[in-house]
Amino acid sequence: MHHGTTITQFISEEQRHAPGATGEFTALLHDIVTACKMISNQVNHGALIGALGSAGSENIQGETQKKLDILSNELFIQSNEWAGHLAAMASEEMDDIYHIPAQYPHGKYLLTFDPLDGSSNIDVNVSVGTIFSILRCPGGNEKPTMRDFLQAGAQQVAAGYALYGPSTMMVLTMGHGVNGFTLDQNIGEFILTHPQMTIPNETQEFAINASNMRFWDAPVKRYVDECLAGAEGPRGKDFNMRWIASMVAEVHRILTRGGVFLYPTDAKMRAKGLDGKLRLLYEANPMAFIVEQAGGGAITGPERIMDLQPSNLHQRVPVMLGSRSEIERLQNYHRA
Ligand code: AHM
Ligand code: MG
């Protein structure tokens, strides 16, 4: 029988070669993995434990919180606050940054996360996921503030997501490629099943919420029109379309077989004073890091996502990511 590499073993072996590694980062990732296993367990049990449905509250962005949004947020905090690796945390489900309680030691890292992304899918039993990003705390770990979190995505130390789908997976980058692990429920361990994931350069698949078409900017409209024109149009080939409304599942499909995912800004959002739907610090940046590490591209339209200087914790940005040649084409259309 083949003994798979566990995620703990994989991370430890990678860190063994990192100069100056103290084991702190390895331990932090281990706690994140534990949190994702706990969330996976809750998501799997669904209605059996009364976990579905709305919690009757709203987050800072005015979105209805699901019971599982709140539970996942608590599980993530509990797993990560005690060990002394973190200076502070920030999440989609908390208005302000989360300070490590005084009874615990403080560490040098910052953790941002979306505990349950795509949560509109929970009640219909479609895939959801957790997204996270790890940064160093620039201002020392004594009194971290929101400013410490406002770092460009290029500064990320690590990023990953857990996908709660037909199987639970963890996909991780520490800046040396992207690796995928599948949770073996019998032994409770993530096993390396997708080493060195890469995104194919060319694709014939795109993902966008077409119900917003009438609000799109000209470059997005042009790109999608050309895809829809198929073999008879300027692209000279037919395209397929997908929309899961679950970014983690969407990105996972792209890492598996290529494609592009677009959640652009549009006239309707701008009228509401928003620059996009997805959040920079715990959705766009970690996904951009993973996608770039897998050989793909991630842009707002004209700009690379990971070059943006964040201005606030819950900042929203337009997101276009996936196969490199398509992202280059989209960027060219935005710069034309
Ligand atoms: P959430 O963090 O509130 O779950 O929202 C993010 C999700 C993404 O996973 C997904 O790509 C997008 O929202 C779907 O949006 P829409 O419902 O407009 O299609
Ligand atoms: Mg989200």
Helices (H), the chain: 7-16, 24-45, 67-80, 146-149, 218-229, 247-257, 267-271, 285-293, 324-335
Per DSSP bridges, beta strands 319-322 and 260-263 are: antiparallel
- The verdict on the CB of residue 209 being under 6 Å from ligand 1 is yes
Average pLDDT for the chain = 94
pLDDT, residue 54, reads 81
| Distance, CA of 6 to CA of 14 (rounded, Å) | 12
CA–centroid distance, residue 219 to ligand 1 (Å): 22
Helix/strand/coil for 115? strand
pLDDT, residue 18, reads 79
Tens digit of pLDDT for each residue in 267-288? 999 999 999 999 999 999 999 9
Tens digit of pLDDT for each residue in 144-184? 999 999 999 999 999 999 999 999 999 999 999 999 999 99
Q: Is 277 annotated as a binding residue?
A: yes
CB 277 within 8 A of CB 120: no
| Distance, CA of 196 to CA of 152 (rounded, Å) | 25
The atom of ligand 1 lying closest to the CA of 245 is 14
- H/E run at residue 193: strand 189-194
Rounded average pLDDT over 195-211 = 96
Examine the pLDDT at 235 and tell me if it is beyond 90. Answer: yes
The atom of ligand 1 lying closest to the CA of 261 is 11
CB 120 within 8 A of CB 111: no
Examine the pLDDT at 1 and tell me if it is beyond 50. Answer: no
CA–centroid distance, residue 119 to ligand 1 (Å): 8
pTM equals 0.95
pLDDT, residue 141, reads 66
Q: Residue 84's closest CA among 101, 100, 106?
A: 106
CA–centroid distance, residue 245 to ligand 1 (Å): 5
Looking at the DSSP bridge assignments, the partners of residue 208 are 262
Q: Which domains does the chain have, with CATH numbers?
A: 7-194 (3.30.540.10), 205-335 (3.40.190.80)
